[in-house]
Chain A
Amino acid sequence: MGEKVGIEASIAIAEAAGLANPDVIAAYPITPQTHIVEHLAEMVANGEVNAEYIPVESEHSAMSACMGASATGARTFTATAGQGLELMHEALYIASSMQLPVVMTVANRALSAPINVWGDHSDMMAVRDTGWIQIVVENGQEAVDNVFCAFCIAEDQRVLLPVMIHIDGFHLTHVIEPIILPDREEVQKFIPPYNYPMPLDTDRPVTMGGVGPPTIYPEAKKRQDVKLRAARDVILEHWARFTKAFGRQYHPVERYRTEGAKILLMTMGSMSETAMGAIDKMRDEGIDVGLLKLKLWRPFPFEELQEAVREAELLVVVDRSISFGGPGGPFCSEVKAALYNQEKRSKVIGLVAGLGGRDISVDGFVGITHRGIEIAEKGDEQVLETYGVRE
């Protein structure tokens, strides 16, 4: 078993990616992802990781190089953030549609303008529908653990889909915390060898990414959606394997002090850590409040969410991005959509907070919860309410 060390989350993520024994890494550095790819480049240069490192000239090329590598059957890793993820956008759809199991960590960052390198979930929401499996983690250990799980899930013959791991920029990427990095042998035992069933091979020629006219495109898209939804069971299976091997547990919707809670706060990403502090504080004050933390964003965990909110009367969802001119926060609108047709459903109030790296403190989450309660009581819900914005 590896030792617990004090390490920056980005460096630990790079170490984890290295331990996973990738064949190809293609990446372009961008704040706040930089430390991940810098450290990987260093490890490759020092001969510690036996991979081909392709320093490309843009994120569009990074994803394109990753796809080419993955198509030959290579285990492929990359990382990006914010604007970089946006520049990759069209290639993201191609990777998932062609079922190329690239693993990518995204250091979540706000989108310009104004230029902002700090963390929020705007980039994550912009790639919501790209067909990637998307895992959202709340601390460095979860990021490391899910790098290993991501390779198992992506490369599983029943899945063969790319996986994104969302890691809050700065709030998480640049934090030094105690993290257990397993030994190389343990990781190699956990991640099965990878065999892409139809790699580019001159002896067995295939065409990837061919033309799909109207006579075949709808069938191709239906298949893609079915595949992504079916990946859920395999994700749970690999998380269970992980628990068996390393002890730590992961669930699509995690609960914190939800027993007897009529009010539930719902978050995703690193803010969940602070939100737990707020739950403790409010519980001490006698408020029956609990926390739900979303860990699996795609495929969306409908069943787990419906189950988790069954007893609640009010759900307060915190979004870290805005759907401009749309239904407020994209996370909240998905939660609402998932619950709308339930016979008995809790009231769902959405609040947007923490944009562009604005901190949300423990008291902030207490305030958000109280505001949620107030809105529910008064019935004065607005389409979009941003908590803590100066009027």
Chain B
Amino acid sequence: MSTDTSAGRAAASGAAGDAHPTPDRNEGLTSADLRDLSPADQDLRLYRAMAFVRAFEERVETLYKQGQVRGPAHLALGHEAVAVGVGAALGPQDRSIGTYRGHHHALVRGTPPDGMMLELLGRAGGVCGGKGGSMHVLSVEHGYLGSHAIIGAHLPVAAGLGWASQVLGDGRVTACFFGDGATNIGAFHEALNLAAVWHLPVVFVCENNGYMEYTPIETVVPVTYPAADRAAAYGLPAITVDGNDVSAVREVAVAAVATARRGEGPVLVEARTYRHSGHSVADPAAYRPVGEVEAWKERDPLAVHRDAALARGGDPAAYEAVLPQVREQVAAIARRAQEAPVPDAADAWTDVWSDGSSTWRS
């Protein structure tokens, strides 16, 4: 893989392929992190990962409303179980790729939250060097190959990542996250067809939150499952799952990843979920029917998982402690970012070409 491994960047972003959680990796996880844990410890680990995303997004919402976030921010509040459930099924060498609503996917793979916060606030040292912002966070070192903000465009890219793995025989699987709205754009169909006909090791994951921006998805799609119902047309096995139940998501993701890794071709997972906030933080989401948000919050993915874990004998005190702890952690991350310097203006002129320059003429 083509990555920049210069010392500074490696230090800022964690070691490439690091399989084990370190303070730098924070609450990111992979299947390798869970393998040796007891079922009860796995439950708690999944909860921590979701809670960290929750705390991060809550803080971003606050900072945005204070005018501190540069550009738009699309939060994953309510989507935590999809990212963590699929992330738990991926190995450290696997890859994922997502959309502008991508903070959760970046964090789950282990992207340094400090680097993400710096990027969101437009400070020096951000994961995109100030050139990407909230919609384009990534960590190549952790296998999260970017948040892409043109609907559907990254699905063919995921197919290409799968193609590379197939040609190189590197055994990696690529998970590709996208919204329900993406299922109506041509690239979705081209990518599914190509991945299916080439038997590529890709798991396509639709985070169906019921809305494409401000429009209910059912008003623009004539089928019940916008992704899963279309997958059949391309001979793709499709699984629908409760996207607010992290254990359920993990279970289907483990099966889907295994199918893809065995060389049996791509699988599509459609996870039904809901975003607790507006499309972006700027959106008050007044178009939603009264009571809808409250009804979905009844099935908050963190609460669903905590209750299930406690019913399995989990330690209530341990669960109680998590959110306050991660909120404090994230508050410290935000403080550090707020105190960080702004980027050097000269950075705007670097990184167009592989020689580091932006020179287009002699």
Partners in one complex: no
Which residue numbers of B lie inside 8 Å of A, CB to CB? Answer: none
